[in-house]
Amino acid sequence: MDDKRTPPAPALEEVRLPHLTAYRLLVKWQAAGMGAMLPLVMVVQAMLAVGLIVGFGFLIPGIDRETATFLSTGAPTTLLVIIGLVMVPQAVATARNNGSWNYLRSLPVPRPLLLLSDLTVWLAVALPGLVMALLTAWLRFDVPFSFNWPVLVGAAFLTVLMATSVGYAIAVSLPPLLAQLASQVLVFFVLLFSPLTFPAEQLPVWFQQVHSVLPIQRAGDALRAGLVADQYPFEPVGMAILGGWCLAGLAITLRALTRRR
């Protein structure tokens, strides 16, 4: 092959790249940045899965099969939500502090593509957590899964999208330091005060009402309906609320990406 026979350089004019090409290139760019962190993220996810399923199991003496199933099928949501609500704000806050947020926004690509490529990468980062949690649940409690694949895939996708877009929205709406702090608080809220690994009925009524409009319990219920379909029914309303939070997160993030202060 003759490497010297390269085509002539384009003239000095504006760049107009097909969106799909730009998207692929941005995914490659952002995945590389995440790549170095990926093994660490997977180790953390595995530890969290074990902690949630095995560790929380110790809190319940003589745990019965139904409770074990509830606990085990809530753990995957916890992992997915933590990636989006905790890791994403921290990553975006870092990017805003070190200048890469502004750099990426200066690239000659439509800014929604920046968000889309980043969401793609976070989806890829989050999904192994789902598998790990299910594997742990099966090994520890031999959970009787009965998959409803369309619901499972849809719920997992919407959960990651919701958590990531809301995480993004937090990161772009607050000053970086405050965003990092908020993400730390959210860890406790998701782990301890969200009815993912325990039934909502154990919460005070007013708190149940709060959770009925928040996306976390809705995500947990939707994912559970995909994992043990014969025991937990699928609720379209919950999915719609989850979708609404996705749209709100995406709208806030897109506005921040395109807004000129």
Partner 1 sequence: MNAVLQVNGLTKSYGSVVANDGVDLVVNRGEVVGLLGHNGAGKTTLVLQVIGLLMPDAGTIHVDAVDAVADPAAARRRVALMAQAQTPIDGLTPRTAVALAARLRGLDKRRARHEAERIAAELAIEPWLDRRAGPEGTGLSGGVRRLTGFAMATVAPTPLVILDEPTNDVDPARRRRLWELVRRVADRGAGVLLVTHNVSEAERAVDRLVIMDEGRVVAAGTPQQLRGTEDHLRLELIVEPEGDPSRIVPPFACLRDVVVGRRRLLTFPAAEAERAIQWAAASRSRGAFESFALTPTSLEELYLELTESKSQASGPEEVATRG
Q: Which residues are near partner 1 by CB under 8 A?
A: 3, 6-7, 9-17, 21-22, 25-26, 28-29, 31-37, 95, 98-100, 102-111, 260-261
Q: Which residue, 6 or 202, is less far from partner 1 as judged by CB?
A: 6
Nearer CB in complex with partner 1: 216/257: 257
Q: How far is the CB of 258 from partner 1 (least distance, A)?
A: 9
Work out how close the CB of 115 gets to partner 1 at its nearest, in angstroms, rounded to a whole number: 15
Smallest separation, CB 171 to partner 1 (Å): 16
At closest approach, how far in Å is the CB of 97 from partner 1?
9
| Choice between 116 and 229, CB closer to partner 1 | 116
Do residues 245 and 215 make contact, with C-beta atoms less than 8 angstroms apart?
A: yes
Could you give the CA distance from residue 89 to residue 184 in angstroms, rounded to a whole number?
Answer: 10
Q: How far is CA 228 from CA 2, 106, 180, 243, in A?
A: 59, 46, 35, 22
- Closest to partner 1 by CB, 108 or 236: 108
Nearer to partner 1, 3 or 64 (CB): 3
Nearest Cα to Cα of residue 159 among 197, 111, 216: 216
In whole angstroms, what is the distance from residue 255 CA to residue 250 CA?
8
Tokens of 79: 């992992």
- If the CB atoms of residues 33 and 233 are measured against partner 1, the closer one turns out to be 33
CB of 102 to partner 1, least distance (A): 6
Element (H, E) at 177: helix 176-192
Min. distance of Cβ 91 from partner 1 in angstroms? 11
Q: Are 222 and 81 in contact (CB under 8 A)?
A: no
Counts for the chain of helices (H) and strands (E), in that order: 12, 0
DSSP letter at 230 equals T
